[in-house]
Amino acid sequence: MKKVIYLILTLAYLAFVYYAKDMFDAYTLSILSNIGIFAILALSYNLINGTTGQFSLEPNGFVAIGAYITALLLIPAETKLDMFALTDPAPIVLKMHADFLPALLIGGVAAAFVALLLSFPVFRVRGDYLAIVTLGFGFIIRILAINNPEYTNGAMGLNDIPSYADFTWIGTIALITFVTMLHIVYSKFGRGMKAIRDDEDAAIAMGLNTFKLKTFAFMTSAFFEGVGGGLLASFLTTITPDQFSFLLTFQLLIIIVLGGLGSMSGTLVATILVMGGMEWLRFLDEDMVIFGIHTGAHPGMRMVVFSILLILMMLFARRGLFGDKELPEIIEELKEKFKKSSK
Amino acid sequence: MSRYILRVENLTMDFGGVRAIDNLTFKVPKGSTYGLIGPNGAGKTTVFNIITGNLKPTKGKVYLEDEDITGIKPNKAVYKGIARTFQNIRLFKSMSVLDNILIGFDRAAKYTYFEAIFRLPRFFKYEKEIRQKAYELMEIFGIREFAKYNATALSYGNQRKVEIARALATNPKLLLLDEPAAGMNPKETDELADIIFKIKKDFNLSILLIEHDMKFVNKMCDLVTVLDYGEKIFEGKPSEAIRDPKVIAAYLGDFTHA
Amino acid sequence: MDMQIFLQQLINGASLGSMYALIAIGYTMVYGVLRLINFAHGDIMMVGAFLTYFGMESGLSFELAALLGIIGAAIVGILTDRIAYRPLRDAPKISLLITAIGISFFLENLFTVLFGATPKAFKAPEYITKVFHIGEIYLPISVIIIPTITLIILAIVLYILYKTKYGMAIRALAFDIKTVKLMGIDADKIIMIVFMIGSALAAIGGIFYAISYPSIDPLMGVIVGLKAFAAAVLGGIGSVTGAVIGGFILGFTEILVVALFPELGGYKDAFAFFFLILVLLFKPTGIMGQDLERGRF
């Protein structure tokens, strides 16, 4: 019965993703695409932060890796020659080329490989070094991008990235990400990751190789963040180092906290809410007239509101929308409660 | 083959100038239930932590059968066949009873990360297999009906059972129980003793346990070592231990301090 | 490179290192008592520098403005703990870390909204910035003042830690929070003192930064904070002396590497990160630290 419901939902979703082009205008499609990309990023971020409980601040770094590699693989050589303003592109930059899907995958694999390298210093020792190392890594990536113009065109970034990433691509990959995350969570690997979150010493005492599990979670997150970055590059068609600032990570953090750390379905719901909220609160950054007085534009006001929101959530509603449960489990619980109360 | 499952030889452990264990030697015969007893702070849990590799001893050796396992990595100790429970129950609190026990079957589920992500046949085969085994274990412990409950929602006695079942799931040769009867009422304690007798036979186990409850020790253990301030003050049958003047003095001291 | 330039760079390194050291002390002390990487610590330093700047803008003398900055930062630090961290003492660790990031982002954006994102020129009084020379070496007086004050502060902090009742309590707390509570010490009060000291020192570091660069902006604490944390890990997290040593090592390295290999100038901000990775790989306990994180049962 359940299987039939899931199958129908999946087919309905895929139909929506494939026919959306014909149903909506460009603006709506771009919002849907944005939500799709953020869903991919937030779902994968939740695997390491929520399911495994290892606080990390990496997404902006891995998204940048995926975005740059995918972009460089997609842009034709002659366009690169025209575009690189500060210095000639390195020979490898001119030579590298791939179709869209391989380009996305290569971006993801590159990010996962970097995650593997980072996991040795951070997961072999106890403590929350992952957070600070990934935070630092986000800055390093930016420094590298700016200081290696022969690969990245420096601070000017890359533009004229071929625009393959439409909502069909994004929506499909979002579904693949979601299903992959659920398949991990509902396997011995997901159980092990949760065990690490609950009590790492006890997990080790049960024979779990916690280094391996944390590294798997981290690499998987990085892979999908890399792929998401590639999608983002092709969707926006231009990228600059400043796009991959900590702001991106912060938005994703808000999403996974609101959805519930460890809940993939919660993350999906929260992505829609937060992305919608960001759009809706845009007026906060702009000039407002209160009682006839112009407040002036206040870039950053939204982020003040969102950071207060994050702190309040941690203080008073730490479990977020779904806690660490998935939607079907929540429905099951509600049914139980309803049965009890009607008795 | 050794007739001892575990040998601890000349074990000494210092914590920053304080000697927690002093030249301790004992041997656990295969198939026996062996008690490590003594007043609070005698160093019993420290001995456990050394056996499981959580602590490296200052001096001395630990042998499992004939293999030197001194300072082994804690997760490797499990592969060698040592499983443990904790003094203050440590279940995975966000997980169900079933999932807690499935963690113990982690190594028995021999599918890879990719097989899990792509849901290949081996994933289903092993998941089915370990679930079946987990239900069998829960049956033995009489906690099957709680399979889907959150582990921490259970009564104290039942949480103990989940913890022992989880340890058994790792397929150990030697089971270390840290105060299994602590916080249980007499009825629960009797029930637990029956279960331990049964699993010991069914799973062909040797058991090393730490306990305060002398009645429980008397009932369960074939041999005991009594520790006081990290030193062995008695080794032998439990029935003799309770008549030994040194042991009585150590325990009386404990009572008067308390 | 001739000797004079080398000496000049060495003195610059000491000045830069002082700044990292002062900020690293706060990281290491908070980590010691709460096992928390206080992401907001770099931003507290920014708050200290900004309050000093605005004190001077509104007509206070530099000394009074600096005092305002230090006290203000200490208050913000205490409030951060009181409002955002204390309610989460028994919560999962990740909640505390997320809150810390929230506070950090809040302070950065609040100051951006209030004062704009563009850097502001910081005008320190002439007696600090005046250039003097010994032979061929030309130096602003600040590069001598800054390390001197830092060493005096270190002496005071070490005195507090090792010779006073509060210092004993702080060290006991770093060892085991549960036992300390049992001993009847008010852990929350001790933690408050740690935040007060740490934040005040960060503010002093921030003022030194403002004097040396000489400009401030709302995001100035991010990179400096990150570097100071790396310095604390290098010195051995939990150890105050270690934090100071780590800070100076980092300061000297940055200045000397750039002096010796000018082509690496663009990567100056990345050195700390590589230090951090190397320390975690090869000596996670740092130069002076003990293993604070061993699994215990």
Residue A257 contacts C where some CB pair is shorter than 8 Å: yes
B163 and B219 fall within a common domain: no
**Smallest Cα distance from A21 to chain C, Å:** 37
Q: How many CB atoms lie within 10 A of CB B9?
A: 16
On average, the pLDDT of chain A sits at 92
**Smallest Cα distance from A40 to chain B, Å:** 16
Residue B11's SS3 state is strand
Interface of A with C in 274-303 (CB under 8 A): 298-301, 303
- Chain A contacts of C226, Cβ < 8 Å? 132, 135-136, 139
Q: What's the rounded Cα separation, in Å, for the pair C7 and C137?
A: 8
B182 and B252 fall within a common domain: yes
State yes or no: pLDDT of A246 exceeds 70: yes
Q: What's the rounded Cα separation, in Å, for the pair A175 and A124?
A: 33
**Smallest Cα distance from B163 to chain A, Å:** 10
Residue A86 contacts C where some CB pair is shorter than 8 Å: no
In this predicted model, what pLDDT tens digit does every residue of B223-249 receive, in sequence order?
A: 999 998 888 999 999 988 888 888 888
Least confident span in A33-42, A134-143, C50-59? A134-143
- Chain B contacts of A201, Cβ < 8 Å? 54, 90
Give CA separation, C58 vs B244, C61, C114, C207, C208, in Å: 83, 9, 16, 17, 20
Task: Pick the more confident residue, C172 or B9.
Answer: B9
Q: Which of B55, B85, B210 to mutate to test the interface with C (most CBs of C within 10 A)?
A: B55
- Interface contact flag, A208 B117, Cβ < 8 Å: no
Beta carbons of B230 and B42 less than 8 angstroms apart: yes
Helices then strands, each counted (H, E), chain B: 10, 10
In the structure, what pLDDT confidence band is assigned to residue C4 with cuts at 50, 70 and 90? confident
Whether A256 is in a domain gets the answer no
B184 and B253 fall within a common domain: yes
Q: For the residues B28-54, what does the mean pLDDT come to?
A: 90
On average, the pLDDT of chain B sits at 91
- Interface contact flag, A209 B74, Cβ < 8 Å: no
Degrees to nearest 5, angle at CA A9 with A8 and A10: 90
Residue B45 contacts C where some CB pair is shorter than 8 Å: yes
Residue A113 contacts C where some CB pair is shorter than 8 Å: no
- Chain B contacts of A196, Cβ < 8 Å? none
Q: Which of A52, A182, A191 to mutate to test the interface with B (most CBs of B within 10 A)?
A: A191
State yes or no: pLDDT of C77 exceeds 90: yes
For residue B67, report the phi and psi dihedrals to the nearest 5 degrees. -95, 130
Q: What's the rounded Cα separation, in Å, for the pair B207 and A270?
A: 50
Residue A122: both structure tokens together: 């951070």
Q: What's the rounded Cα separation, in Å, for the pair B101 and B148?
A: 11
Q: How many contacts, defined by CB atoms under 8 Å, are there between B and C?
A: 8
Give the total number of structural domains in chain B. Answer: 2
Whether A211 is in a domain gets the answer yes
Q: For the residues A259-280, what does the mean pLDDT come to?
A: 92
B108 and B164 fall within a common domain: yes
- Interface contact flag, C87 A315, Cβ < 8 Å: yes
Q: Among all residues of chain A, which has the CA nearest to that of B96?
A: A191
Residue B54 contacts C where some CB pair is shorter than 8 Å: yes
Residue C295 contacts B where some CB pair is shorter than 8 Å: yes
Strands B223-228 and B33-37: parallel
Q: For the residues C77-83, what does the mean pLDDT come to?
A: 96
B73 and B38 fall within a common domain: yes
Residue A182: both structure tokens together: 């659920």
For residue A8, report the phi and psi dihedrals to the nearest 5 degrees. -65, -45
Q: What's the rounded Cα separation, in Å, for the pair A243 and A83?
A: 19
Whether A30 is in a domain gets the answer yes
For residue A228, report the phi and psi dihedrals to the nearest 5 degrees. -60, -40
B244 and B145 fall within a common domain: no
Q: What's the rounded Cα separation, in Å, for the pair B137 and B196?
A: 12
Beta carbons of C297 and B45 less than 8 angstroms apart: yes
Max CA distance (Å), chain A? 76
Degrees to nearest 5, angle at CA A171 with A165 and A175: 135
State yes or no: pLDDT of A258 exceeds 50: yes
In this predicted model, what pLDDT tens digit does every residue of C137-184 receive, in sequence order?
A: 788 888 889 999 999 999 999 999 999 988 888 888 877 666 666 677
What's residue C292's pLDDT? 53
What proportion of chain A, given as a percentage, has pLDDT over 70?
97
Residue A51: both structure tokens together: 């399911």
Give the total number of structural domains in chain A. Answer: 1
The segment with the largest mean pLDDT, out of A127-136, B24-33, C270-279, is B24-33
C156: Cβ–Cβ under 8 A, 6 or more apart, which residues?
Answer: none
Q: How many contacts, defined by CB atoms under 8 Å, are there between A and C?
A: 133
Q: For the residues A158-187, what does the mean pLDDT come to?
A: 96
Degrees to nearest 5, angle at CA A57 with C273 and A327: 160
Single out the residue of A39, A35, A38, A51 nearest to residue A263, CA to CA. A51
Question: CA dihedral in degrees (C104, C110, C115, C120; nearest 10)?
Answer: 10
- Chain C contacts of B45, Cβ < 8 Å? 297
- Those chains having 3 or more beta-carbon pairs within 8 angstroms of chain A are B, C
- Interface contact flag, B87 C297, Cβ < 8 Å: yes
B8 and B76 fall within a common domain: yes
Q: Which of B13, B52, B54, B88 to mutate to test the interface with C (most CBs of C within 10 A)?
A: B54
Single out the residue of A155, A153, A22, A176 nearest to residue A79, CA to CA. A153
- Interface contact flag, B94 A324, Cβ < 8 Å: yes
- Chain C contacts of A194, Cβ < 8 Å? none
Question: Residue C271 forms beta bridges with which residues?
Answer: none
Whether A315 is in a domain gets the answer no
Whether B141 is in a domain gets the answer yes
Which among B74, B93, B109 has the least Cβ separation from residue A205? Answer: B74
- Residue burial C180-206, b: 16+ Cβ < 10 Å; e: rest: beeeebebeebbbbbbbbbbbbbbbbb
Scan for tokens 């066949």, then name that residue: B81
Q: Among all residues of chain A, which has the CA nearest to that of B122?
A: A187
Beta carbons of C85 and C34 less than 8 angstroms apart: yes
Interface of A with C in 114-143 (CB under 8 A): 118, 120-122, 124-129, 131-133, 135-137, 139-140, 143
B77 and B187 fall within a common domain: yes
Please name the amino acid found at residue A1: M
In the structure, what pLDDT confidence band is assigned to residue A292 with cuts at 50, 70 and 90? low
- Chain B contacts of A210, Cβ < 8 Å? 75
Give CA separation, A222 vs A22, A43, A213, A248, C171, in Å: 33, 11, 14, 15, 39
Beta carbons of A112 and A61 less than 8 angstroms apart: no
Whether A309 is in a domain gets the answer no
Please name the amino acid found at residue A165: A
What's residue C291's pLDDT? 56
B44 and B152 fall within a common domain: no
**B169, B192, B216 - which closes a domain:** B169
| Cα-Cα-Cα-Cα dihedral sign, residues C73, C78, C83, C86 | positive
- Interface contact flag, C102 A310, Cβ < 8 Å: yes
- Those chains having 3 or more beta-carbon pairs within 8 angstroms of chain B are A, C
Question: Residue C120 forms beta bridges with which residues?
Answer: C216
**B135, B169, B203 - which closes a domain:** B169
- Chain A contacts of B75, Cβ < 8 Å? 204-205, 207-210
Q: Among all residues of chain B, which has the CA nearest to that of A219?
A: B113
Residue B191: both structure tokens together: 């029930």
Q: Which of B82, B95, B106 to mutate to test the interface with A (most CBs of A within 10 A)?
A: B106
Q: For the residues A296-305, what does the mean pLDDT come to?
A: 81
Ordered alpha helix ranges (H), chain A: 2-23, 26-46, 59-74, 77-83, 91-95, 100-123, 129-147, 149-152, 167-185, 188-198, 200-205, 210-236, 246-259, 264-280, 301-316, 327-342
State yes or no: pLDDT of C73 exceeds 70: yes
**B122, B145, B169 - which closes a domain:** B169
Scan for tokens 């050796």, then name that residue: B61
B206 and B151 fall within a common domain: no
Q: Which domains does chain C have, with CATH numbers?
A: 3-282 (1.10.3470)
Strands A293-294 and A289-290: antiparallel
Whether B87 is in a domain gets the answer no
B71: Cβ–Cβ under 8 A, 6 or more apart, which residues?
Answer: B53, B56, B57
Least confident span in A325-329, B76-80, C218-222? A325-329
- Residue burial B193-215, b: 16+ Cβ < 10 Å; e: rest: bebbeebbeeeebbbbbbbbbbe
State yes or no: pLDDT of B256 exceeds 70: no
Whether B234 is in a domain gets the answer yes
Residue A297's SS3 state is coil
B139 and B177 fall within a common domain: no
| Cα-Cα-Cα-Cα dihedral sign, residues A222, A223, A224, A228 | positive
- Interface contact flag, C295 B86, Cβ < 8 Å: no
Beta carbons of B219 and B193 less than 8 angstroms apart: yes
What's residue C297's pLDDT? 41
Whether B214 is in a domain gets the answer yes
Residue C119: both structure tokens together: 């850097």
- Chain A contacts of B123, Cβ < 8 Å? 187
| Cα-Cα-Cα-Cα dihedral sign, residues A48, A51, A53, A55 | positive
Range of the domain at A143: 2-246
Q: Among all residues of chain B, which has the CA nearest to that of A196?
A: B92
Beta carbons of B29 and B3 less than 8 angstroms apart: yes
On average, the pLDDT of chain C sits at 89
Single out the residue of B126, A87, B170, A121 nearest to residue C273, CA to CA. A121
In the structure, what pLDDT confidence band is assigned to residue C294 with cuts at 50, 70 and 90? very low
State yes or no: pLDDT of B102 exceeds 50: yes
Please name the amino acid found at residue A10: T
Beta carbons of C69 and C49 less than 8 angstroms apart: yes
Q: Among all residues of chain C, which has the CA nearest to that of B88?
A: C297
Name the DSSP letter for residue A319.
T
| Cα-Cα-Cα-Cα dihedral sign, residues A267, A271, A277, A282 | positive
**Smallest Cα distance from A105 to chain C, Å:** 27
Residue B256 contacts A where some CB pair is shorter than 8 Å: no
Listing DSSP states for A211-236 in one string gives: HHHHHHHHHHHHHHHHHHHHHHHHHH
Q: What's the rounded Cα separation, in Å, for the pair C203 and C200?
A: 5
Range of the domain at B127: 92-169
CATH code at position B195: 3.40.50.300
- Interface contact flag, A315 C88, Cβ < 8 Å: yes
Interface of C with A in 160-189 (CB under 8 A): none
- Give how far the C-alpha of residue B119 lies from the chain's centroid of Cα atoms, to the nearest Å: 35
In the structure, what pLDDT confidence band is assigned to residue B257 with cuts at 50, 70 and 90? very low
Interface of B with A in 111-170 (CB under 8 A): 111, 113, 116-119, 123, 127, 130, 166-167, 170
What proportion of chain B, given as a percentage, has pLDDT over 70?
97
Scan for tokens 């994180």, then name that residue: C293
B183 and B126 fall within a common domain: no
In the structure, what pLDDT confidence band is assigned to residue B205 with cuts at 50, 70 and 90? very high
In this predicted model, what pLDDT tens digit does every residue of C220-254 receive, in sequence order?
A: 999 999 999 999 999 988 889 999 999 999 999 99
